[in-house]
Amino acid sequence: MKLAVGCDHAGYEAPHPYMPAIIAHLERLGHEVIHMGTHGSESVDYPDFAKLVCAAVLDGRAERGVLLCGTGIGMSIAANRHHGIRAAVCATPDMARLSREHNDANVLCLGRRILTLDLCLELANIWLETPFSGGERHCRRVEKMG
Ligand code: RB5
């Protein structure tokens, strides 16, 4: 799958920068990753990178997006400002699964300061593998969001 990924400086926080590890993991799984930045630990504003990732998803350069910030919250708020984006901040395997099955989430948001790296990778795996259920009530609700 083609994935657009992005983060703010939290993605490169020492001593274990998560963003490069997440990208390497996604590539190991066979995904094609477009990294929209940021690329280092210098302080930046998360809405700028949410915008780049959402644009890539909306114009078809990527099928889905993955965003990382300190909590995942700022990225999810920023991403959901973009019409057609359904961004889900996930902290448990059930949230990752249900955001796909019920909400057809097209952007996954993760929190560097909330989750272990292993949990981030597990959530990404689940989120990428889980299809939208396509159930009538879920389609209707997703359609109502435009
Ligand atoms: C940046 O320090 C932090 O505020 C940001 O990464 C994010 O957690 C915001 O929601």
Which sequence spans correspond to the domains of the chain? 2-145
| CA–CA gap between residue 96 and residue 125 (Å, rounded) | 9
pLDDT in tens, 62-101: 999 999 999 999 999 999 999 999 999 999 999 999 999 9
87-89, strands of its sheet edge to edge: 32-35, 2-7, 64-69, 107-111, 87-89
Q: Work out the burial of residue 12: count CB atoms within 10 Å of its CB; fewer than 13 is exposed, 13-18 middle, 19 or more buried.
A: buried
| CA–CA gap between residue 59 and residue 82 (Å, rounded) | 12
Average pLDDT over residues 13-24: 97
Q: Are 78 and 58 in contact (CB under 8 A)?
A: no
Q: Which of 73, 57, 75 is nearest to 65 (CA)?
A: 57
Average pLDDT over residues 20-36: 98
Q: How many CA atoms lie within 13 A of 15 on its CB side?
A: 0
Active site residues: 69, 102
Query: What is the chain's mean pLDDT, rounded?
Result: 98
pLDDT at res. 19: 98
- Is the pLDDT at 146 greater than 90, yes or no? no
Average pLDDT over residues 99-121: 98
Question: Could you tell me the distance, in angstroms and rounded to a whole number, from the CA of residue 143 to the centre of ligand 1?
Answer: 30
- Is the pLDDT at 52 greater than 90, yes or no? yes
pLDDT at res. 48: 98
Kindly give the number of the ligand 1 atom that is closest to the alpha carbon of 74.
10
pLDDT at res. 104: 98
Q: Which CATH superfamily is domain 2-145 in?
A: Sugar-phosphate isomerase, RpiB/LacA/LacB (3.40.1400.10)
pLDDT at res. 66: 99
Question: Could you tell me the distance, in angstroms and rounded to a whole number, from the CA of residue 76 to the centre of ligand 1?
Answer: 11
Give, using CA atoms, the residue closest to atom 5 of ligand 1. Answer: 70
Q: Which of 36, 122, 103 is nearest to 75 (CA)?
A: 36
